[in-house]
Structure 1
Amino acid sequence: MSKQLTEAYIVAAARTPIGRSHRGVFRAMRPDDLLVAAIQGALAQAPGLDPAAIEDAVIGCAMPEGAQGLNMARVAALLAGLPKSVGGVTVNRFCASGLSAIQMAADRIRVGEAEVMIAGGAESMSLVPMTGHKPSFNPAIFERDDNLGIAYGMGLTAEKVAQRWNVSRADQDAFALESHRRAIAAQQAGEFADEIVPVEVVSRSPDLASGGVREQRRTVSLDEGPRADTSLEALGKLRPAFAAPLDPAGQATGMGSVTAGNSSQTSDGAGCLILASEAAVQRFGLQPLARFVSYASRGVPPEIMGIGPVEAIPAALKSAGLAQADLDWIELNEAFAAQSLAVMRSCGLDAAKVNPMGGAIALGHPLGATGAIRAATVVHALRRRQLKYGMVTMCVGTGQGAAGIFERV
């Protein structure tokens, strides 16, 4: 006998500021501590909720090892002060880990297995590098040409997308500049305030005069990446960071076009959403921000992984019973300007609806956390601007695309 699905509502959505990796404000901060801050920030948005009602915490992480290994979801849930009855599982779909975590948590509610769930993501690219500390590719990848794309660096896949979809260097740089412009404007207007939970950073250094330890504290409340001083001239001076794409004969096809300036910033950050059933919303007097509508993930050739949203977006819309024109706000993760523009042009996305407050080129991309961070952005933006439908979508390493749709309620 089939069982009717219930609805899953987002009742809280919080994130930390995003810091630049290696040299930024969170360079020495553990990702599980960032996640603790995001969890506690989300709980503060749902004051009537009994934490004992939370069934599980599903947390995304693209490189779950080192400081973000050992099932970071469970560790952070405990460190955040949640009851020991709250479980935790860490999941990995690379850049879509945080979005997949939301989908998994929502599905537990929708099939009636849970009433309240935590979902989110956390990543420190300062403490754990993009490919992990000891990457080990399966040798079979290199035995067939059609599998080589699995081992491609992300920059090379962006070059292939730029070449195949005819995305010029000038267009990439202009897109990057607009990302910074929108992010700065949003910061100045205070539009991130609803979603960001300030994080206190403590730094310690030896005090030689006293023989003790000098402690300094600062509160971080803004994303570190947006730059008001960037310009087309400055972006145009940056050298391509990756090898030029090759033609079928294996010859380089001129200069590459992907630079550090038109690519996403490596970053540190965390995000957390609390999802609840309709029964839990009523029991605890919660105020939903949005309804989780649909999710889709699809595969594409690994060597052009950046085009993944082209397959995932229509699938998510079909599952939701919506047309693309119904979307009012689109958070398209800017892994690279090249792939963002290729996706927008292929799908016919309205540029005014895509990343109205800037994207990962300006704000940063802490891999497995990004899906949850961008979901927090979209659900608060829908409420603040009284819009109806929003979407989070991104490309995923090894050739995937993911998309999730939310509805303001």
Structure 2
Amino acid sequence: MKPIKEAYIVAATRSPVGKSGRGALRNTRPDDLLGYALKHVLTQVPTLDPAAIEDAIIGCAMPEAQQGLNIARQALLFGGLPNTVGGVTINRFCSSGLNAIAMAADRIRVGEADVMIAGGVESMSMVPMGGNTPSLSPSIFLSDENIGLAYGMGLTAEKVAQQWKVSREDQDAFALASHQKAIAAQTAGEFADELFSVKLANRSMDLARGEVALQWSEFSKDEGPRHDTSLAALGKLKSPFAYGGSVTAGNSSQTSDGAGALILASEDAIKTFGLTPLARFVSFAVRGVPPEIMGIGPKEAIPAVLKKAGLSLQDIDWIELNEAFAAQALAVIRDLQLNSSKVNPLGGAIALGHPLGATGALRAATALHALQRRNLRYAMVTMCVGMGMGAAGLFERC
């Protein structure tokens, strides 16, 4: 039996996140956007021969329409990768991007590959939450046992808020803090190392000349963080999910567009190509919870991933806890007694957005570069997952 090898992340990048429907990326196809991410991540490892990459695993929560037909393979070719590089698209909803990293790492750890690409992409402007034609099995409605599978995400957050007694005031305060941290991070240039700029084509009709005028602009900054929000403004919002509820658009994650990509390598590949690793992939865990309280998933996944790694919460220096909803994030923080100063120091999905299948890759890029800048050791990326799951991954700075 082959010994288990180590898998290292040697490059990590992400696009700026756009607001779905009205943001800068609304007209950018997700296969193109992912292609840009793949092209850029290769610039971080100029000594790597792209032909050495054996496969790419890409997460996407709604792999249909513009995101269908194995978007991983298409984007690889759009990104200029050789024809020899394979690609597969995977789906575990919000943890898809993180799952892609774990699966790529596993290929290296068992000795089946030396260089892999992992990432995620989602255009919620082009493919809505649930896809274009969602169709739930009638069996879900025939008994109470699985009825939680039919609940909208907002309703599951209301259930968590009720069961874990998370007040509306606390949710709004958490949301405001997310925006404030993200704005401070943007101002300080905290995201500079992980972001790449997206060139956008802007076309307008020149009536005098009778032709279409083409101008180019660059999109280089996350659109979600709001300078103008306040507790008073957040407090005026009504819950669209439950009568008298506490979960609102203001204390929930933003629907978004974005893509991220990472390159993973074995120790042999690092030596062969003279690469400098950012971090070692440590471990990954996923656990299930009742679908009607899906937001609490990280509560089960975090202890599981720590146990696999032989670590404790006190060992973790940086935690990217996806803010699907303030209610579920606060419930997890309180239940596990997480150190709030370590959770989303640069803001979370309430401010920065949540492009579903891309989020795991985006937040991994954020965490890995933060470890480098701040000379920290361990980072965790964790999130709840639709239909009742939680996922968590651990990384150690090299």
Report if TM-score (shorter chain) is over 0.5.
Answer: yes
Give the 5 Å matches for 1:376-391.
376-391=365-380
Other-structure match for 2:93: 94
Distance 1:241 1:219 in 2: 35
Consecutive unaligned residues of structure 1, counting only runs of 5 or more, are: 245-254
Deviation by residue 1:157-214 (Cα, 9 ceiling, x = unmatched): 0000000000000000000000000000000000000000111111223222211112
Q: Give secondary structure in 2 for the equivalent of 1:90.
A: strand
Deviation by residue 1:105-136 (Cα, 9 ceiling, x = unmatched): 00000000000000000000000000100001
Other-structure match for 1:15: 14
Distance 1:281 1:122 in 2: 27
Distance 1:340 1:229 in 2: 23
Other-structure match for 2:126: 127
Residue type at the aligned position of 1:129: P
Shift of 1:75: 0.4
Q: Give secondary structure in 2 for the equivalent of 1:96.
A: helix
Matched, 1:269 2:258: yes
Other-structure match for 1:248: none
Other-structure match for 1:61: 60
Distance 1:47 1:187 in 2: 27
Distance 1:156 1:25 in 2: 29
Deviation by residue 1:294-342 (Cα, 9 ceiling, x = unmatched): 0000000000000000000000001111011100000000000000000
Other-structure match for 1:77: 76
Q: Give secondary structure in 2 for the equivalent of 1:57.
A: strand
Give the 5 Å matches for 1:4-403.
4-244=3-243, 255-403=244-392
Q: Give secondary structure in 2 for the equivalent of 1:258.
A: coil
Distance 1:131 1:214 in 2: 36
Distance 2:392 2:93 in 1: 14
Residue type at the aligned position of 2:323: E
Shift of 1:33: 1.1
Q: Give secondary structure in 1 for the equivalent of 2:42.
A: helix
Q: Indicate the larger mover: 135-144 or 332-341.
A: 135-144
- After TM superposition, the score normalised by the length of structure 1 is 0.97
Shift of 1:378: 0.4
Q: What RMSD over aligned residues (CA atoms) do the two structures have, in Å? A: 0.6
Distance 1:319 1:55 in 2: 27
Consecutive unaligned residues of structure 2, counting only runs of 5 or more, are: none
Distance 1:208 1:137 in 2: 49
Residue type at the aligned position of 1:290: A
Distance 1:287 1:65 in 2: 36
- After TM superposition, the score normalised by the length of structure 2 is 0.99
Distance 1:242 1:205 in 2: 40
Residue type at the aligned position of 1:211: G
Distance 1:209 1:94 in 2: 49
Q: Give secondary structure in 1 for the equivalent of 2:248.
A: coil
Among all aligned residue pairs of Structure 1 and Structure 2, give the percentage whose two residues are the same amino acid: 71
Q: Indicate the larger mover: 59-68 or 202-211.
A: 202-211
Distance 2:239 2:6 in 1: 47
Distance 1:208 1:60 in 2: 43
